[in-house]
Structure formats: C-alpha cells, structure tokens
Structure 1
Amino acid sequence: MLTVALFFFANILFCLAYMVRDMAYLRAITILAASSTLPYFYFQASPLYSAMVWQVAFIVINAFNLTALLLQRRPIKLTEQETWLQQTTLRLLKPRKMRRLLRLAETHEIEKGELLIEKGQELNALLLILSGHAQVEINQQQRANLYPGDFAGEMSFISHKLTSADVVAEEPVRYLVWPAHTLERLYLRDPDMKYALQGAIGMDMANKLAR
C-alpha cells in the first residue's frame, strides 16, 4: 500500500515539476519524483528492473544538470576592478556574465601623446578605458574628454562607419579591447549579452552628452 502511495506521490511531483519556472526547482522535484517510483517498481510480484534502470538514469542525468546549475549560480568574488566596472559601466550585466565578457577582452596600454583611435579608420573593436585620460579631437580641436569607465569609438563600432575623430592619450592610458569577431561569437552563444552590452553603450553615450 505504501509503495502505491509513493507512486501516486511521484506522479503528483512530476506534475508539480512542470509547473515551476525555475530550472533548479524543476530538476530537484523531478529527482525526488523519480526516486519515489523506485519502491513501487521493486516491490511488484516480479520487480520491474528495466523501469528502475531508466528511473535511475533519469535521476543521474537530472542530478548532474542540477549540480552544474547550482555551481553556475554560486556567488562570485569580484576583484576591485571588476567591482568598479560592475557598479559603473557594466552595471547592466550580472557579475558572472560580466566576468565572462572581461575574460574575452585584450588589455592594451599607450603612452601620453599616442593615438588610441585615428580619424578615418575602420574600427573593428570595442574599446573601454580602464585608467588614464584621453581627448577627442577633430582637426586638432578638442571636442570631448574620455575618462576611466568610458567606451571609446563606440559610435563607429556600432555604425560600422569610419572613425570621425582622433582620440589622443593625455597621459598613459590602459584600456580593454573586444575584437568584433569575438563579440559576435559571444552573442551567438548568449544573445542576452548583446542586449546588455548595447544598453551599457547607450548609457555611456548618454552620460557623455550630459557632461
């Protein structure tokens, strides 16, 4: 009688699993439901071993995926630089996604007076200043200043048009570079990353206009 009750309980859990939206809860409930069917299959007049094997396989697969999901959701400890970026320029990205994005970036440095961006060039990368100060110039006339946390050349990067100004380092500048092809591959794997990064670029442009 108990085994029958467990079997009905398992079916209720299966129904419940398909009603929840959180994948971790779905897998956890499914594991419990599948486990509850094992006594029923075992204590039949002739144990249903084939059914038990399939249920165990089902449990193992869901347990593996649940473990992977929980590991992905673990809180991560950000570095000082990552914390600063997460609180400013990249605040639309969740910490784990932001770290994934940062790991794809190349870090470059230039000295005072060197060009970060040259006018009339095709810009196939997205740039983000980490430290230092740069100046946007058109025909050697200052038009704007770029500071840590600012994107550089984002308009040309988004529009695929030639750069309209020079960007000159006013002091040593350290910056991140994301090649366009690297971001495109990332967007294919994670479309939400594209929208979040575009939102960050939009907010950066709005902040520059407000200065």
Structure 2
Amino acid sequence: MNCLKITFGQTRISRVHSTKLPQKVSFTSNSLLHQKVFPNINSQNLLYSTTKRPTGKYADRYNRRVIRRVIRNPQPLAKVQKKSKKWSKLLRSTGSPQNIIPKTIQPPPSIKPLIQPGAAPAQKKARRKFRQWLSENAGIIVLNFGSIASFLSFTRTDILELRLFSITGSLSSVVYFLSRPPPLVLGPILWSSVFASTNAYMVYHIYQERKGKPRQLTLEEENVYEEHFLPYALTPRQFEKLLNISKKRELERGEVLIQKGQQINKVYLTISGSVDAVTTMSRRVTAASSSKGNKDKLVGGDAGAWIGELAFLDYLASIDKQGGVLNTPPPSLSSLTEDATKDKPLATAATVEQGSKTKNEGKAVDLKPNDFLPKTSVTQNSILTYIATERSTMYEWDFDALADLMKTSSDFRSALTRSMTAAVVGKVVNMYISKVDADLPVWKKWLAGQSASDEHLENISAVKVHVSQE
C-alpha cells in the first residue's frame, strides 16, 4: 500500500490510499518546492485553499478531494511534448544500453630512444678508440695535408698562391717530424723551417708590391691592359708602375718612327692608329705591322703593335750573362753602316736582330754590369722601317728604365717577359700563315672562297707602300 504524506503549513493529511502514488512523497513547508509541485493551490483559489478549511464532518471529505486533485495533476499546466512512438520503437529495437560507461583514456605509448641504454658503453668505447687512433696518427694526417698543398702549389700560375701553398707544405713537414716518437730528427725540421721562412719573406715583398688600390684606368689604358698584359698575369698595380715610366708619343701620318739600320734603344707599343713595317723594296710586312682589327683578323693577334721587344729581351739577356765577364767592345760605326746597307732577307718578326754575334772574350774583372755594355746590343739594328699610315699614338719605354723596373720584382719581370715573348711568337705565326697563303694557287683560293680583292683588303699578301726617302 502506498502512503502519501503531505503537509501544508500546519495541516497534515494522511491515510490516503492510491495505487498510482509514488512510494513516499513529503512536502514539509510552503517553500519553492511546494509552489512548483502544486501551482494551482494558492490563497486566491478557495477550492484548493488551506486558509479556510471546513471543520467537522466535512473536513475529511475536503481533504480527500484536495489530495485527489493534486494527484490527478502532479505536473504543471504547461504543455508537455509527446514523444514520438517511432523513436521509442526504434530505441527498443536497437536495444541501446541504458548505462554507457566511457572508456578510460589510455596514456600514449612511450617513445623508445634511438640509442638503447645497452649501446652507450659500446659507443663510448668506439669514441675512445677513435681519439686514440687520431692522437697516434695526427702527424701522418698533417703530413698528407701538406703533401696535397705542395702538389697544388705546382698547379698555380700566380706566384703568391704558389708560395702560400709551399709554406703550408713546409710547415706540415715540421709538424710531422715533431710528432714522431724520440729520438727527434732535427735535419728535416730545420730545412723545412728554412723553406717556410724564405717563402714567407718573399710573400711579404709580393704583398708590399701589390698592396694599395691602383688608380682608375682610362678606357684606352684598360683596353691596352686587357689585350697585351692581362693574359700574362701582369697585375693592375704592376701595369700602373709600367705606365709611370712610359712616355706617350704621337705620330702624324707619314712620319717615320724607325729607319732601317737604326739602332733600337726603346720599346714601343702602338695603342691607336696604324703603323706599317716595310722592307727595302717598299713592301709591307703584315706580321710586323699594326692596324685596327688585327687582333681578330690575324691568328697571332695584333703582335705588330710591339716594336723593339726582341731587342730589349736581347738586352736583358746580355745583362744577365754579364756576370763579371767583359764583353768585347762594339764594332765601329763603319761596320754597322756596311751591315745596314746590305740587303737582308725578310724577317719573321717586327724587329729581327741579325748579324754575327761575337763571343765573349776576356778575363773576369770586378766591374759593374753596365760599365762596358752599350745601351743597345751589337746586333740590335732594325731591318725594317716603321712608318705611320695615319695619326697614331704609342707608349715608349727606355731600355735602362724598363730594366731597372723589372729588377724590383721577379714576378713583374716574368709577366712582362711573357707578354713580349708572346708578341714575338705571334709575329712568327702571322708571317708563316701570310707566306703560306701568298704561295697558294688561284684555284685553291677560289675553292676556299677567297678572292683577290679580299686578299688585298685583309693584307694577306704584301702590298707596295710609298716610303719617303727624306
């Protein structure tokens, strides 16, 4: 039997029988819970009001009616949405669980280290062995490094790089012999130290020579440097020194620079214009001439721009060979005149120094190299005449000033010597190719696509040039 105990204020209702009542419901006061459960029971509704209750025989009937009304309307009067039968059937058919307990969150798996704890001792042992091997063979490693540096020094064209690599090789040898177990070998250590010190001293001089920024070259000077000096490792600083001792000479059209048979005591370099070299028969020698476009037209380039370079190289060789040996005095002027008037064969360069060289005779004496050496060698006589065919400009260097400048640096001397030697070789190549082309028959030239007019324009064969006899 279900029992409902309800208390309104001070009124207590009991002995209520109902099969639809819950197990036990209790309202103890006029609280908010009372208002929510029994919204229709208030002081203004006399039917459900508890302020004026009947007494006597009507009390029990009144109480029963109130309880029944309350039980029939246990919920507020608000509309209650009806649940769809479809969804209830669907839920019953699916058999969804009533109590769903979420799964416990598992922690992520632990990341295994790349290096297992058991491998650490083995790695320490390997590192210890490597350090031990490195300490025992450090000298050999340094020696091999120095050998590679010494090998690279032979492949360098710049003298500064060569000496730096050589210093590295020498110091590596010193480190190797110092790392050897006793007894200590002093011989190789001392010699390697001497080599390294010598190269370091020369590196200092090269640095002193090259340090400083060269002045800004003009467009004309830059073109001359790139064509005649840059390919032979002459630095811009050295080229600036070469320009400082040079003189600029202007030639008008038809002006003769050097007559045939004249002694050559200066070096010339044509930088603009055109200068032709002609023989006694007034025939132009293309290989020894300089004109615009020869750089790209001739195989040997514009080698004819250099004049007197072979005589200067002979002059340098005479100074080097002096060595305290007295040369024979130069021949008389009459013999030079006779040699100059003879018809000599065509040379293979701009200035070919011919004549019979006399052997060095005499005893060694304590004299300065230039005491008995003339400014020009015995055979340094031009066999060609150089004449300007248009207004031309050239640089001019005196033999003595140029030789003194070359003594200041072996690097500068070797670079300038290579430049002049390349000019001599270029003249020989141009002369040989010009002679071969001139000897070709007409039909071979025609097959090669070369006409007589093209040959004349390209100056392949010699052309007659009027030379002033003044």
State the TM-score, normalizing by the size of structure 2.
0.29
Distance in 1, Cα, partners of 2:312 & 2:279: 18
1:109 matches 2:250: yes
TM alignment of 1:94-133, pairs within 5 A? 94-133=235-274
Q: In percent, how many aligned pairs have the same letter?
A: 24
1:141 alignment partner in structure 2: 283
Displacement after TM superposition at 1:179 (Å):
0.2
Distance in 2, Cα, partners of 1:192 & 1:203: 17
Distance in 2, Cα, partners of 1:183 & 1:70: 17
Distance in 2, Cα, partners of 1:70 & 1:153: 27
Distance in 2, Cα, partners of 1:183 & 1:204: 17
1:79 alignment partner in structure 2: 218
TM alignment of 1:1-211, pairs within 5 A? 72-74=211-213, 77-91=216-230, 92=232, 93-139=234-280, 140-144=282-286, 145-147=289-291, 150-159=305-314, 160=377, 161-211=380-430
Displacement after TM superposition at 1:141 (Å):
1.6
Name the larger-Rg structure.
Answer: 2
Displacement after TM superposition at 1:73 (Å):
4.3
Displacement after TM superposition at 1:204 (Å):
1.7
The AA in structure 2 aligned to 1:208 is K
2:373 alignment partner in structure 1: none
Displacement after TM superposition at 1:97 (Å):
0.5
Displacement after TM superposition at 1:78 (Å):
2.6
Cα gap change, 1:71 to 1:186, in 2 (>3 Å): closer
Q: Assess if the C-alpha contact under 8 Å between 1:146 and 1:152 holds in 2.
A: no
Q: Assess if the C-alpha contact under 8 Å between 2:253 and 2:389 holds in 1.
A: yes
Q: Assess if the C-alpha contact under 8 Å between 1:82 and 1:99 holds in 2.
A: no
Distance in 1, Cα, partners of 2:397 & 2:416: 12
Displacement after TM superposition at 1:157 (Å):
3.2
Q: Which one has the bigger strand percentage?
A: 1
More displaced stretch, 197-206 vs 144-153: 144-153
Deviation sequence 1:1-55 (CA, Å, 0-9, x none): xxxxxxxxxxxxxxxxxxxx76xxxxxxxxxxxxxxxxxxxxxxxxxxxxxxxxx
Displacement after TM superposition at 1:114 (Å):
1.1
Unpaired runs of at least 5, structure 1: 1-20, 23-64
More displaced stretch, 89-98 vs 150-159: 150-159
Displacement after TM superposition at 1:130 (Å):
1.1
Displacement after TM superposition at 1:193 (Å):
1.9
2:446 alignment partner in structure 1: none
Displacement after TM superposition at 1:163 (Å):
0.8
Q: Where do 4+ consecutive residues of structure 1 move more than 6 Å?
A: none
Match of 2:228, SS state, is coil
2:141 alignment partner in structure 1: none
The AA in structure 2 aligned to 1:209 is V
The AA in structure 2 aligned to 1:85 is V
Deviation sequence 1:138-167 (CA, Å, 0-9, x none): 112212222366111322333332111101
Cα gap change, 1:70 to 1:152, in 2 (>3 Å): closer
Distance in 1, Cα, partners of 2:212 & 2:259: 42
Number of positions where the alignment pairs a residue of Structure 1 with one of Structure 2: 147
Instruction: Name which structure has the greater RCO, CA cutoff 8 Å, separation 6+.
Output: 1
Cα gap change, 1:141 to 1:75, in 2 (>3 Å): closer
Unpaired runs of at least 5, structure 2: 1-162, 165-203, 293-301, 315-376, 431-470
More displaced stretch, 74-83 vs 184-193: 74-83
Deviation sequence 1:171-207 (CA, Å, 0-9, x none): 1111111001101211222232222111101112223
Match of 1:122, SS state, is coil
Q: Assess if the C-alpha contact under 8 Å between 2:260 and 2:384 holds in 1.
A: yes
Distance in 2, Cα, partners of 1:189 & 1:181: 13
Distance in 2, Cα, partners of 1:203 & 1:194: 14
Q: Assess if the C-alpha contact under 8 Å between 1:136 and 1:166 holds in 2.
A: yes
Distance in 2, Cα, partners of 1:84 & 1:204: 16
Distance in 2, Cα, partners of 1:70 & 1:192: 10
